[in-house]
């Protein structure tokens, strides 16, 4: 099946689909070439139809949320990019201390909903520019908190359209990983169990974390957040700074002078610029400190 026929079939589901959509418009790095087809399903049923059509056509599928931990190739992404966003944005209380939310809801909205209902446990996520589904996918964390502490269940859909769920230990949550990290299952909703708390104290903690982020992180520039996983016994940013790499630049990709753990896009950085800078940082830190750095940002699309 050609992409033109697949496009017709996708549009017939009622799903909005764009051709040759620039991925730089859908990532916080503001980097990335065109996706052949870019689909934004409105609900789980439509998502199931899209996945089935792509499977029948033997066309690859790439699933994204808010694009906050992604580096997309300059050559773009072949096949269909499925955008889990507003169509998966519900927020409800499923119990006295349990929130059920769609995978496309932003962490900001999720944190505010928890605050409004006097529920504590998500304060660490305030200011992280991602979706709930993305946070579950990679077990996002900051300031000593992580999704593992609050996430109790995820529902998903498989490439052949089957519905399922993982809960408890079956979520396999560990440092920046989950049961979904190496699977092609698409998270559709989450359940989080939180702790009753004082709204003023919850708000104060959220404000404190956001203030720290603004003070220490280069939020004024496009980036994909922290580039490297934390090596055992060290902080990646500290090692990079120790090697004198703050401000080091390849093209328009630069090691932040505010926080060395961030690579920022100071203009029109390409994916190639970022990859070369990552490789230079890894080589330098290994040579000078003897510590290997593992990249946390996910590189997707045509390989450079």
Which pLDDT value is given to residue 160?
85
Tell whether the model's pLDDT for residue 303 goes beyond 80.
Answer: no
pLDDT of residue 1: 62
Sorted by where each begins, the domain ranges of the chain are: 3-83, 88-201, 219-300
Q: What are phi and psi of 279, to 5 degrees?
A: -65, -40
Catalytic residues, which ones?
176, 226, 296
96-148 tens-digit pLDDT: 999 999 999 999 999 999 999 999 999 999 999 999 999 999 999 999 999 99
The H-or-E segment that residue 223 falls in is strand 223-226
Q: At what angle do helices 3-12 and 44-57 cross, to 10 degrees?
A: 160
Q: Does the domain spanning 88-201 belong to CATH 3.90.950.10?
A: no
Is it true that 88-201 and 219-300 share their CATH fold? no
Residue range 23-39: mean pLDDT, rounded: 97
**pLDDT one-digit tens code per residue, 141-191:** 999 999 999 999 999 999 888 899 999 999 999 999 999 998 999 999 999
CB-based contact 283:243 (threshold 8 Å): no
CATH class of the domain whose range is 3-83: alpha beta
Give the up-direction half-sphere exposure of residue 124: CA atoms within 13 A in the CB hemisphere: 15
- Checking if the pLDDT of 236 tops 90, the result is yes
- How far, in Å, CA of 163 to CA of 155, rounded? 7
For 219-300, the fitting CATH number among 3.40.50.300, 3.30.420.280, 3.40.47.10, 3.90.78.10 is 3.90.78.10
Is residue 81 within 8 A of residue 35, CB to CB? The reply is yes
């Amino acid at each position: 099946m050609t992409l033109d026929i697949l496009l017709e079939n996708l549009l017939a589901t009622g799903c909005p689909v764009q051709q040759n959509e620039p991925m730089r418009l859908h990532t916080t790095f503001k980097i990335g070439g065109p996706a052949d087809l870019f689909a934004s399903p409105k609900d789980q049923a439509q998502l199931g139809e899209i996945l089935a059509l792509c499977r029948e056509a033997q066309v690859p599928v790439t699933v994204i949320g808010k694009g906050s931990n992604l580096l997309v190739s300059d050559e773009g992404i072949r096949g269909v990019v499925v955008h889990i966003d507003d169509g998966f944005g519900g927020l409800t209380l499923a119990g006295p201390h349990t929130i059920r939310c769609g995978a496309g809801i932003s962490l900001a909205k999720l944190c505010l909903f928890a605050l409004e209902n006097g529920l504590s446990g998500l304060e660490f996520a305030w200011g992280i520019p991602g979706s709930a589904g993305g946070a579950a996918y990679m077990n996002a964390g900051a300031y000593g908190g992580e999704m593992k502490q609050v996430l109790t269940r995820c529902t998903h859909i498989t490439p052949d359209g089957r519905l399922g769920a993982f809960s408890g230990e079956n979520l396999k949550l560990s440092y920046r990983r989950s049961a979904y990290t190496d699977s092609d299952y698409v998270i559709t909703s989450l359940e989080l169990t939180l702790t009753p708390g004082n709204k003023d104290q919850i708000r104060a903690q959220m404000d404190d974390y956001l203030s720290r982020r603004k003070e220490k992180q280069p939020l004024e520039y496009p980036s994909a957040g922290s580039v490297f996983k934390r090596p055992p016994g060290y902080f990646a940013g500290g090692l990079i700074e120790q090697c004198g790499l703050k401000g080091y630049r390849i093209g328009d990709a630069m090691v932040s002078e505010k926080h060395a753990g961030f690579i920022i896009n100071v203009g029109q950085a390409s994916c190639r610029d970022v990859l070369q800078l990552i490789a230079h940082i890894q080589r330098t830190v290994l040579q000078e400190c003897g510590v290997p750095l593992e990249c946390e940002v996910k590189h997707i699309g045509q390989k450079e």
